[in-house]
Structure 1
């Protein structure tokens, strides 16, 4: 068993002897979302390195930090490949419902396209609290998980040929766009994501270079931590605590295992 495969399984609490099949991917995605947080600590500290397989292994499996989409999905891509799946990475553009337009900073979202028995699916472990937690086929079929309903529709936009749409449990009453992506432009080397990291770290309109953000799934919902609040969703009910800097550090350690 390769080092990434063994370390990844250890990080998410998956036995080294348990085979990962297409049918069990939902369980693996759920465990990943619960154990490896979406977080931007390194971006805020300007503590960045080139995106490589070894960097991802060290950051998230040895140091047990989290990451952003280009890190989380790249790591999960390597895990999928090492478990015999056919997959590629691709880039997309996130849609902001508040402004009803796509982000203007470019193709800074990274997702995974997995092919199984002739059908292609979106796999995403790097979309914060918006994760499908299941493979979503590129057929328009609605897929349900504990996080809501998800579908991928063919749609010609300047950002690609498909859009991921979602209706989050307890939060959305109507379908909304998550992001657009191009299935015809696979990424051949994760070093391409150095460009994304640079944009996320330095662009004035980047949503991740201003304040801390950490989120992960729990058995009953999600938790999200910023420098001013701690939000918990438990069985569809939300509670929000206003916090100061000391409380932030306590909660970051307690719920995310991160000391920075």
Structure 2
């Protein structure tokens, strides 16, 4: 068994004897979402490293940190490869609901596509609090998970050929745009994702280079930590507290298991 595979199983709490079939991917995705936070601390603290297998292991598994989509879905990609899923990584553009436009940072969202019984599925563990938590078929069918309803529809756009729509539990009354991606533009090597990281780090309109943001799915909703607030969603009810820097550092450890640098 590959070193990464064993370490990843240990990180998310999956037994090394468990055979990961397609039917068990929702368990893997749910455990990953609860154990590994979506967070941008390396970007904020200017301590990013190249996207390599070893660096991903060091950051996400050995240092018990999380990451952004290009890190979280890369380590999931490597885990899926070890479990004979033949995934491909592709890039997409997220929808900015405040600006009512596709993100100006371009194709900086990274996701996995797998094929099972002749059907392609989106597998994403890097979309913060908007995670489907299950594979989503690329045929328009709606899947229902603990986080809401999700579907992927064919698109004809300069930005891509498929769109993810979401209706988050307790949060959305109507379907919302998630992101658009191009299933034909496959990432050939993890090193290509260094460009994505560079854009996230440097782009003036990047959402992730301004202030710390951490979020993690919980059993009843999710938690969100910034440098000024801690928000907990429980069964659709929001509890938001203002915090200072001392509390921020304490919550990094208590809520996310991350040591402050």
- TM-score, normalization: structure 1? 0.99
SS of residue matched to 1:120: strand
SS of 2:165's equivalent in the other structure is strand
* Residue 157 of structure 1: how far off its partner (Å): 1.2
What does residue range 197-208 of structure 1 map to in structure 2 within 5 Å?
197-208=197-208
Q: Residue 188 of structure 2 corresponds to which residue in structure 1?
A: 188
Query: 2-side partners of 1:21 and 1:238: how far apart?
Result: 36
Whole-Å Cα distance in 1 between the matches of residues 179 and 221 of structure 2?
Answer: 22
DSSP-derived class of the 2:16 partner: coil
SS at match of 2:60: helix
> Any stretches of 5+ residues in structure 2 without a counterpart?
none
What is the match of residue 34 of structure 2?
A: 34
Cα distance in structure 1, aligned partners of 2:93 and 2:256: 27
- Secondary structure class of the residue paired with 1:79: helix
After TM superposition, the runs of 4+ consecutive aligned structure 1 residues lying more than 4 A away are none
Q: What secondary structure does 2:32 align onto?
A: helix
Q: How many pairs were matched up?
A: 260
- The residue aligned with 1:60 is 60
Query: Residue 90 in 1 paired to residue 65 in 2?
Result: no
Aligned match of 1:257:
257
- Structure 1 segment 220-235 matched on structure 2, within 5 A: 220-235=220-235
Structure 1 unmatched ranges of 5 or more: none
Return the offset for 1:105: 1.3
Task: Report the counterpart of residue 211 of structure 2 in structure 1.
Answer: 211
Name the CA distance, whole Å, in 1 between partners of 2:26 and 2:2: 22
1:114 equivalenced with 2:114 (yes/no): yes
Give how far 1:224 is off: 0.5
- 1:10 is aligned to 10
Instruction: Please give the per-residue CA displacement for 1:23-68, whole angstroms capped at 9, x wherever unaligned.
Output: 0111110000000000000001110111111111111011111000
**Deviation of 1:100 (Å):** 1.6
Q: Distance in 2 between matches of 1:126 and 1:228?
A: 23
> Residue 124 of structure 1 corresponds to which residue in structure 2?
124
SS at match of 1:64: coil
Matched, 1:77 2:77: yes
In 1, Cα distance between equivalents of 2:63 and 2:252? 15
Q: In 2, distance between residues paired with 1:219 and 1:154?
A: 32
Rounded Cα–Cα distance in structure 1 between residues aligned with 2:25 and 2:237: 27
Determine the C-alpha separation between the residues in 2 that align with 1:79 and 1:195: 22
TM-score normalized with structure 2 length: 0.98
